A and B are shown apart, each in its own frame.
Chain A
Amino acid sequence: MSSASSEAALGSHRLGGATLFALSARHVTKRFPGVLANDHVDFDLLPGEVHTLLGENGAGKSTLASVLCGLYKPDEGAVLRNGTQIRLTSPRHGLQNGIAMVHQHFRLVDRFSVAENVVLGHRSLPFRLRTSDLENQVAEVAERFGLPLDPKASVGELSAGQRQRVEIVKALYQGAEILLLDEPTALLAPPEVEKLFETVRAMTKAGKSVVFVSHKLGEVVDISDRVTVMRDGRVTGSVARGEADTRKLAELMVGRDIDLSPRRSRAAAQDTLLHLDNVGLRRDGVDHISQVSFSVRAGEIVGVAGVSGNGQRELAEIVAGLQAPTSGEISINGARVNGIGTRNVRKAGLAYVPEDRLGTGLAPSLSIVDNLVLTRERGFLVDRKAALDEAEAFIKQLEIKTPHAHTATRKLSGGNSQKVLLAREIFGAGDNARVLVVCSPTRGLDVGAVEAVHKLLDEARAAGKAILLISEDLDEVLTLADKVMVLYRGSVVHEALGSEVDVEAVGLAMAGLS
């Protein structure tokens, strides 16, 4: 998009006269080995504006943010601050120009206090530090922007949301006028997200500008004045508040129409394939799972929602035979499978997609071919010829982006490695495996990949598989499941049909308030 048209898009924000941008990028190009991360990118940020830089993983948005804050030097093009070109040599230099970035992975010293972390690296500190003065200053900045923080607290003991606040206070303390936040909501719980937004509003009221770098269509878009979408290193569009609807943004991100509407089974569910009867897991005097009973029938998806750490992992591992339940009965296809070990459970007809795809579901340094034989019966010698044919068929059929079938899975993107894993567990096991346990299958994936994964699961359901979908992403459960259960502290506390879900009731149940 040319600078002329981006200025036209700004017409609704500024009436007449020349617009003075707080920060601009002009034709910024940045190459990495084998990748053109930014291809003549233009970007403009107004004073007092909240601007989201939206794009899928690898679209080049983080690279652009890194160029803007001085971490990377652009190969071509320029960065302008208040209309004047600046040549940033380092993030510190960026900070001197009032530009700060809060990275997705925080850069704090765990053993230091909040106040010490905030002043760390600040050039104009007196020779003798008076801790109480520093703490007061830090507390004052934090309060002004509605960031509740105890300056004396040790950073190692803070939650992710609190650490993020420390990073923001640090940037503000050091005089940042422009704050770039890389995937700021990725690690936050919903109430923390709301608090972050309050802070952002306080900052824009004080004339500061905020850039969100995000691959999620959801909440960040809501508070943005403008959204600039990137794809494959280029800007594909810039949309002002009110003009942006999710569908249009998704299309700009992915380059094609995206269907994220609910998917339900179209045929009546058939016979019960997976059945749990009063299953419990008690270890070290703690009930990880207690009295869980449900069944999954052929041709349906049963979704298990819940906040992470409420027994999802244990439930999945019990069903998959990796842990034996301490009470109750599990049956697959009518046969009891308690404590017979995961290999035998698989023989009984189970396939399992664990939450951690690279490192549990897949061996990261092994090739796609080698990973396809992981959960199958192998003789004395491993038949890689059949696996190679299968791998090539999957690559073609599921559009897995990889140089070839012998590429190590860790070199694939999250979406592509998930496709390999799903392909193995859905198709690789053949008709024998009719029960599928899937855990958080789209965590960390971008919109296009989410759509592909949901489509795969929907097709597997249509093909008559009985699917147990355990996900921390409530939207995902609501989109796919024919039956919804909520797991709270190891118990099922809420059940509803997918088409009749009361979202509020589910939310309360997830919080343990039902």
Chain B
Amino acid sequence: MNIGNLRIELEPRLTSPKWLYVVVPVGSLLCAFIVGGVFLALTGHAPIGTFALLIDRGFTSTRGITNTLGTATPLICTGLAAAFAFRMNLFNIGEEGQMYLGMIGSAWAGIALAGHLPGFAAVPVVLMTGALTGALWVLVPAVLRAKMGTSEIVSTLLLNYVALNLVNYFIFGSRGFFRDPSTSFPQGRLIEESARLTSFGSTRTYPTVIIAVGLAVGLYWYMKRSNYGYETSVLADSPNTARYAGMNATKLTLSVLLFSGALAGLAGAMYVVGPAGKVDPGLLQVGLGYAGIVVAALARYNFMAVVLTAVLFAGLREGGASLQISTNPVPISIAVVLQGAVLLFALGGEVFRRNRLRVRRVQQTVSV
């Protein structure tokens, strides 16, 4: 691009200095807030005051941050699920449905099994059952992909709609196992008390947050150091190389998709042992599965970064929602605009990490 005799160019960087990994995301966040601020100003809200309130209610107040962590807990799991599959170039879009199935499976275990189990085993068994049903939900797409190369994008996405209708059927369409038999009001049957966790104090944060963060740390270490992590990275980079080295691509593909489904299922199970205690159609409104894909993309499929982006995302949502209750109520749409802006700028900021912006005078001098 030329302005006068100044030429503005993007020049590819040969190496990206470390500080850029901090400056670019922070800069992107600032830009996103500026754009959000313009929206706020246009709609007659004071940008600075609104942001201060948003940050307070999403992050800095005790109540804000604990609400945020509560929402972030299953979001970390779906984010890990997406990151785990996507970094292998396996595009599991079905975290949403796998999460619903995790909710159904863990509720079943909580109702049918938990009563027969010793107290300390109830919660782990319920969580594991949720993870297992999440994995089962992705089994058919995974087999089709691993054996025949069928696109997992379409098959996992379509199963989301099946899962959604399954939940609706169990609660609204039938008087079956999952429905609360004690009332005619359509709601889920509560799981055994022994299979439920209590939140920290009067907050909405559950101990499951420790499991979620622990999983992120564990996966980060395991995929970096283990032979399994190594083989998946070779297969993701170059299937021919994996074949050359004698790796079993079918087995690897299958295992990655199944584990991704299990992580998403775990998100649903955490919702059951935590705040819900039952199959709750309320989960269908939140879209934590799809949000997990966004969180993973923002974190560039880095498991540790998933924790940060999930908390950021949850905080914007919590803070944004609570802005509706204030002296000058801000519609939830503004919070959504802000989320969209953060995502756009974060992805756009990549350009500046990979390239250097250069302004120079156009030289026309020629020496002959």
Query: Residues on A close to B: CB < 8 A?
Result: 26-27, 33-34, 75-78, 85, 87, 321-322, 341-343, 346, 352, 354, 356, 359-366, 370, 373-375, 378-382, 403
Give chain A residues whose Cβ lies under 8 Å from the Cβ of B234: 363, 366, 370, 374
When chains A and B are docked, how far (Å) is the Cα of A1 from the Cα of B226?
A: 56
Give chain B residues whose Cβ lies under 8 Å from the Cβ of A341: 246
19 A-B pairs, CB-CB below 8 angstroms? A27-B367, A33-B11, A77-B368, A78-B366, A322-B244, A341-B246, A352-B244, A356-B240, A359-B238, A361-B244, A366-B237, A374-B245, A375-B245, A380-B226, A380-B227, A381-B225, A381-B227, A382-B226, A382-B227
Which 9 pairs, one residue from A and one from B, show the smallest C-beta to C-beta distance? A343-B246, A342-B246, A363-B237, A378-B227, A360-B240, A363-B241, A365-B237, A363-B238, A382-B230
Which A residue sits closest to B221, measured CB to CB? A381
Which B residue sits closest to A408, measured CB to CB? B237
* B363 interfacial contact with A, CB 8 Å: yes
Distance in angstroms from B8 CB to nearest chain A CB is 15
* B12 interfacial contact with A, CB 8 Å: yes
Which A residue sits closest to B368, measured CB to CB? A78
Give chain A residues whose Cβ lies under 8 Å from the Cβ of B229: 382
* B243 interfacial contact with A, CB 8 Å: yes
Which A residue sits closest to B222, measured CB to CB? A381
Which B residue sits closest to A403, measured CB to CB? B15
- Which of B13, B225, B230, B365 has the most chain A CB atoms closer than 10 A to its own CB? B230
Distance in angstroms from A27 CB to nearest chain B CB is 6
B interface residues, tally (CB under 8 Å): 26
B366 touching A77, Cβ below 8 Å: yes
B227 touching A379, Cβ below 8 Å: yes
Which A residue sits closest to B228, measured CB to CB? A380
Interface mask (B168-212 → A, CB under 8 Å = 1, otherwise 0): 000000000000000000000000000000000000000000000
* B42 interfacial contact with A, CB 8 Å: no
The dominant DSSP class at the B interface is mixed
A354 touching B366, Cβ below 8 Å: no
Distance in angstroms from B35 CB to nearest chain A CB is 31
B367 touching A76, Cβ below 8 Å: yes
Give chain B residues whose Cβ lies under 8 Å from the Cβ of A321: 246
Give chain B residues whose Cβ lies under 8 Å from the Cβ of A381: 225-227
* B233 interfacial contact with A, CB 8 Å: yes
B14 touching A34, Cβ below 8 Å: yes
Which A residue sits closest to B366, measured CB to CB? A78
Q: A33-B14, A76-B366, A381-B225 are in contact. Are A322 and B243 (CB under 8 A)?
A: yes
Give chain B residues whose Cβ lies under 8 Å from the Cβ of A352: 244
Distance in angstroms from B166 CB to nearest chain A CB is 38
Indicate which residue in B12, B230, B240, B366 contacts A378 across the interface (CB closer than 8 Å): B230
Distance in angstroms from B90 CB to nearest chain A CB is 16
Which A residue sits closest to B234, measured CB to CB? A363
Q: Which of B228-268 contact A (CB under 8 A)?
A: 229-230, 233-234, 237-238, 240-241, 243-246
Give chain B residues whose Cβ lies under 8 Å from the Cβ of A34: 14
Distance in angstroms from A242 CB to nearest chain B CB is 32
Which A residue sits closest to B356, measured CB to CB? A33
When chains A and B are docked, how far (Å) is the Cα of A366 from the Cα of B227?
A: 14
Q: A27-B367, A77-B367, A381-B226 are in contact. Are A366 and B244 (CB under 8 A)?
A: no
Give chain A residues whose Cβ lies under 8 Å from the Cβ of B356: 33
Give chain A residues whose Cβ lies under 8 Å from the Cβ of B15: 403
Indicate which residue in A75, A360, A370, A382 contacts B244 across the interface (CB closer than 8 Å): A360
Distance in angstroms from B1 CB to nearest chain A CB is 16
Which B residue sits closest to A345, measured CB to CB? B246
Distance in angstroms from A187 CB to nearest chain B CB is 22
Starting from the known contacts A362-B241, A365-B237, A365-B238, 14 additional A-B residue pairs (CB-CB under 8 Å) come to A33-B12, A33-B14, A85-B366, A342-B246, A360-B240, A363-B241, A366-B234, A366-B237, A373-B230, A374-B234, A375-B245, A380-B226, A381-B225, A403-B15
When chains A and B are docked, how far (Å) is the Cα of A354 from the Cα of B246?
A: 13
Give chain A residues whose Cβ lies under 8 Å from the Cβ of B240: 356, 359-360
Distance in angstroms from B41 CB to nearest chain A CB is 40
A360 touching B238, Cβ below 8 Å: yes
Give chain B residues whose Cβ lies under 8 Å from the Cβ of A343: 246
When chains A and B are docked, how far (Å) is the Cα of A322 from the Cα of B247?
A: 11
- Which of B11, B225, B227 has the most chain A CB atoms closer than 10 A to its own CB? B227
- Which of B15, B229, B238, B368 has the most chain A CB atoms closer than 10 A to its own CB? B238
When chains A and B are docked, how far (Å) is the Cα of A364 from the Cα of B238?
A: 7
A361 touching B227, Cβ below 8 Å: no
Indicate which residue in A346, A359, A379, A382 contacts B241 across the interface (CB closer than 8 Å): A359
When chains A and B are docked, how far (Å) is the Cα of A26 from the Cα of B365?
A: 14
When chains A and B are docked, how far (Å) is the Cα of A382 from the Cα of B322?
A: 48
When chains A and B are docked, how far (Å) is the Cα of A359 from the Cα of B243?
A: 11
Give chain A residues whose Cβ lies under 8 Å from the Cβ of B230: 370, 373, 378, 382
When chains A and B are docked, how far (Å) is the Cα of A85 from the Cα of B364?
A: 14
Give chain A residues whose Cβ lies under 8 Å from the Cβ of B244: 322, 342, 352, 354, 360-361
Which B residue sits closest to A376, measured CB to CB? B245
- Which of A321, A363, A370, A380 has the most chain B CB atoms closer than 10 A to its own CB? A363
Which B residue sits closest to A375, measured CB to CB? B245
Give chain A residues whose Cβ lies under 8 Å from the Cβ of B365: 76
Distance in angstroms from B177 CB to nearest chain A CB is 41
Distance in angstroms from B260 CB to nearest chain A CB is 21
A374 touching B241, Cβ below 8 Å: yes
When chains A and B are docked, how far (Å) is the Cα of A245 from the Cα of B227?
A: 52
A75 touching B363, Cβ below 8 Å: yes
Which A residue sits closest to B358, measured CB to CB? A33
When chains A and B are docked, how far (Å) is the Cα of A34 from the Cα of B11?
A: 10
A366 touching B233, Cβ below 8 Å: yes
Distance in angstroms from B231 CB to nearest chain A CB is 8
Give chain A residues whose Cβ lies under 8 Å from the Cβ of B14: 33-34
- Which of B234, B245, B367 has the most chain A CB atoms closer than 10 A to its own CB? B245
Give chain B residues whose Cβ lies under 8 Å from the Cβ of A375: 245
When chains A and B are docked, how far (Å) is the Cα of A370 from the Cα of B231?
A: 10
When chains A and B are docked, how far (Å) is the Cα of A450 from the Cα of B356?
A: 36
Distance in angstroms from A502 CB to nearest chain B CB is 36
Distance in angstroms from A290 CB to nearest chain B CB is 25
Which B residue sits closest to A346, measured CB to CB? B246
A382 touching B225, Cβ below 8 Å: yes
When chains A and B are docked, how far (Å) is the Cα of A366 from the Cα of B234?
A: 8
Give chain B residues whose Cβ lies under 8 Å from the Cβ of A366: 233-234, 237
When chains A and B are docked, how far (Å) is the Cα of A85 from the Cα of B244?
A: 55
Q: Which of B68-96 contact A (CB under 8 A)?
A: none
Q: Which of B81-114 contact A (CB under 8 A)?
A: none
- Which of B243, B244, B245 has the most chain A CB atoms closer than 10 A to its own CB? B244
